Amino acid sequence: MEKTIKIDIKLSDNHPAMQWAKNQSDAVNAIGHVGTHIDGYTKEPKKKEYKVAAEVIDCRQHMPAKEDLALDSFKNKALVLYTGAMAKYNYGTKEYGEAQTFLDEHVLEAILADTPQFILIDGCGIGQHGEEHIRFDKKCEDHDCFVVENIWLEEPWAKKIRAMQIKIKLAPESTGKPCEVYARVTD
């Protein structure tokens, strides 16, 4: 049996992360990086909507090493990194921001060599906060791959995702583009 599950997160205007973003000197840019979004520092996706097959890696025990990728093929797919961080800590908490959901650069390069269209994560990014986060996102963009951050994944369905529908709001003049994300799950 197949079903579709909405896995993006939307925040109320009263959420602390939204309040923080609104109080920044560049509020438009900051708001684009709150909730589920794609970072686009050097380019953005060409279309507003994508429907792609998906592969899930269960990262709840540890982030993948190169040898964990050997049997998987991500070509033209959405690679979903299921870390459990969102379900465990909740978006916007200190613990969520400190969760170790980051890829090793050599692992990222191996993933990108297999040419996925998207990398989705239920965490705040695939690189450490700051310079590495931005550098990893730019590296993905150089390979026409985009990172979707802050999606909602949980048991029992997260490991059963087979496809993704990603709707991107390209209009905001921000390096963060809000997204709606739907997972097609097969039992």
**Residue pLDDT, tens place only, 139-175:** 999 999 999 999 999 999 999 999 999 999 987 678 8
Domain regions of the chain by residue span? 2-186
Whether the per-residue pLDDT at 119 is higher than 60: the answer is: yes
**DSSP β-ladder status, 49-58 and 161-168:** antiparallel
120 neighbors 148 (Cβ within 8 angstroms): yes
Task: Give the C-alpha separation, 127 to 122, whole Å.
Answer: 13
Is residue 84 within 8 A of residue 150, CB to CB? The reply is no
Q: Which residue has the higher pLDDT, 101 or 187?
A: 101
Q: Which CATH number fits domain 2-186: 3.30.565.10, 3.40.50.300, 3.90.1150.10, 3.50.30.50?
A: 3.50.30.50
| pLDDT for 82 beyond 90 | yes
Mean pLDDT value of segment 176-187: 93
In this prediction, residue 30 carries a pLDDT of 67
Distance CA 132, CA 170 (A): 24
